Structure 1
Amino acid sequence: MPRPAKTPTAPPPGHVWTPEAAHRMGVTRKTLWNYRSLGKGPKPVVRGRKLAYPIDEIEAWLEEQDNPKPDAEHDARPPEPRLPRHTKSAA
């Protein structure tokens, strides 16, 4: 006898599962997973074997991306010093 189809569990109140969070953020699920492993983006909550993202943290993260703080630290490399150009001497 076939098993009845499982109905997907609802996320906790005020949260969305990973596919919906990625859709709201405008990124792929893979990018969202990479953000999680790098410690960037909104912080998920583990529910069983799934990740639930708080909607208010997604909105706050999107707002921060649209309006970055002027004194915010960034992870870009500092500019390298320019070396003087060697010119050919006229001999």
Structure 2
Amino acid sequence: MPRRPKRKPPPPRGCLWIEEAADRVGVTVATLRNWRHLGKGPMSFMIARRIVYRITDLDAFVEGLYQAALNPPPNPDMRPPEPRLSRRPRRAG
């Protein structure tokens, strides 16, 4: 007799499993896993070997990205353009 595939239990109230969180944020599951490994992206935690994201944390992360796009920080490496130099060689004299 073939085995039935295991069903995932529903996530805790107010939370999403990593697959649903990736859909909500608009990235792949691999991207969320990479962000988790690097320590960036939305806050996450584990329940019984499953990665869980709170919906409020996901929404706050997306809102933070939106606000950063509206108000980009000034780039400290930018400097004013340098004056153009003439290409003609100077005449001695």
Structure 1 length-normalised TM: 0.71
> Alignment identity in percent?
38
Matches within 5 A, 1:32-71: 32-68=32-68, 70=71
SS state of the match for residue 51, structure 2? strand
> 4+ runs of 1 displaced by more than 2 Å?
1-7
Matches within 5 A, 1:26-37: 26-37=26-37
Q: d(CA) in 1 for partners of 2:8 and 2:38?
A: 29
Q: Deviations over 1:30-70 (max 9, x none)?
A: 11111111111111110111100000000000000001285
Q: What amino acid is the match of 2:30?
A: K
CA drift of 1:3 comes to 3.6
Q: How large is the RMSD of aligned CA atoms in angstroms? A: 3.0
Q: What amino acid is the match of 1:36?
A: R
Which residue of structure 2 aligns with residue 14 of structure 1? 14
Q: d(CA) in 2 for partners of 1:58 and 1:5?
A: 29
Structure 1 unmatched ranges of 5 or more? 80-88
Q: How many residues align?
A: 89
